[in-house]
Structure 1
């Protein structure tokens, strides 16, 4: 595993799911963690902090609605004061609204996706970058395979994830002279509640009245080159740790796909 001893990483959406696993894997690599999530996730953040500490890392937690620059800035400033520095930003927080055709989505649903998945990423970078020292650092934006292609019923999510890639590429040009690298990670289906839920199963198997996870797994597996239905959160976290480390010291402006071959399958 890469060595990030002495580094401090900011992770948004850190209370659960892949965000929590990011925190754990960075702690495994020797980093300290500034874990941010929504105010209602405070108990989850405490659990994440405990897991980081049991791995030997320090962990500061903060709450913020990522769509509010003032809240994100305040939480980051407090955490950096506690931990003493900032080296890595992992913009992980995101949402996915229920799938519907683009023309049936409400204005509120559209805007909330952009507020979290795009503007929230910008807020995270805007709040965090001024704290990265002169030796440089790394920004890792968690996008999606929907940031590289289009799929039906995902208009606001797909638009926001594509836009996040454009933001990352621009940031890479702007921050390169400060030795700050900027890359995106693009997971396919990940074994989290965002995928493993009855609504998703029904979307994948509309031919069944009450589809099970096993029914959905058949469809998901058929979409990938590798014979698996999804990747695990740790696979996404491992990609983020790599991109944040010196092992990727000359990698910037890249899109690292972790999707079991989803985007490469011909049929």
Structure 2
């Protein structure tokens, strides 16, 4: 029996990166998967978002693991769309037991250079999108009366106050604050709410041009290897970044019954960045 056997996991931002990794890790441990992603580029960001083909690939990989999967193209900024997917999930699979509010974006820009759109898109996706995800899914969990686990993706920058990510830090710090309130509100329903705080993770978000430039302001065209050399020195474990699977292990723990008395916790997976 898997660690989340018989559960249904609702995951946002699941077309690639950490979201896909979470879907596959939970599926490998017995969960059926509801995978959502916006699959649209965002004009205020430099790097390309996931595509519908990426989302279909997540679907294929989950099916290869022998689990049921429901995919939907929906933006976490769309409450009606998120509500519809949650309703579809309950109709298809009978309920929702695990929520991974993972969808998020990042950009590295000095605070005074931020445009209104850059600020607002970050807040709308990373913070309000998490709230909308919970608003769509939690009522079904409460109605079912079986408890459950909600894991919100925050960031290690909330511990550090890193420069050039004011909009990102504000959004992810807000996610941690939201988690603490939800843990209190949902506790009586046996629903646990926690945050996972990744440090650098090897995904397209980390390898964007804006991140490469911030880590290497002295280089005209910095590379991923330049990033590796600069980033590794910030972490006590002398590792530049972790892989998406490393975050998925933490999500699985928080989703499983092994963490049945764990709620209101901020769990970092950051190679010690927060204490450096």
For residues 124-177 of structure 1, what are the alpha-carbon distances to aligned partners after superposition, in whole Å with 9 as ceiling and x for unaligned?
001001111212000000110122331111111100100111100000000000
SS in 1 for 2:197: strand
1:1-267 to 2 correspondences below 5 Å: 3-40=3-40, 41-97=51-107, 99-132=108-141, 133-265=144-276
Q: Residues of 1 paired with 2:98 and 2:91: CA distance?
A: 15
Q: Residues of 2 paired with 1:108 and 1:201: CA distance?
A: 22
- Deviation at residue 68 of structure 1 after TM alignment: 1.4
Q: Residues of 2 paired with 1:80 and 1:193: CA distance?
A: 32
Normalised by the size of structure 1, how large is the TM-score? 0.95
- Alignment length, in residue pairs? 264
Q: Please tell me the root mean square deviation across aligned C-alpha atoms, in Å.
A: 1.3
Q: Residues of 2 paired with 1:214 and 1:112: CA distance?
A: 29
Q: Residues of 2 paired with 1:142 and 1:36: CA distance?
A: 15
For residues 169-223 of structure 1, what are the alpha-carbon distances to aligned partners after superposition, in whole Å with 9 as ceiling and x for unaligned?
0000000000000000000000111112443222211112222222211111100
CA contact (8 A) 2:2 2:28 kept: no
Q: Residues of 2 paired with 1:66 and 1:72: CA distance?
A: 7
Normalised by the size of structure 2, how large is the TM-score? 0.92
Gaps of 5+ in 1: none
Q: Residues of 2 paired with 1:208 and 1:42: CA distance?
A: 35
- Deviation at residue 104 of structure 1 after TM alignment: 2.0
For residues 21-43 of structure 1, what are the alpha-carbon distances to aligned partners after superposition, in whole Å with 9 as ceiling and x for unaligned?
00000001100000011154322
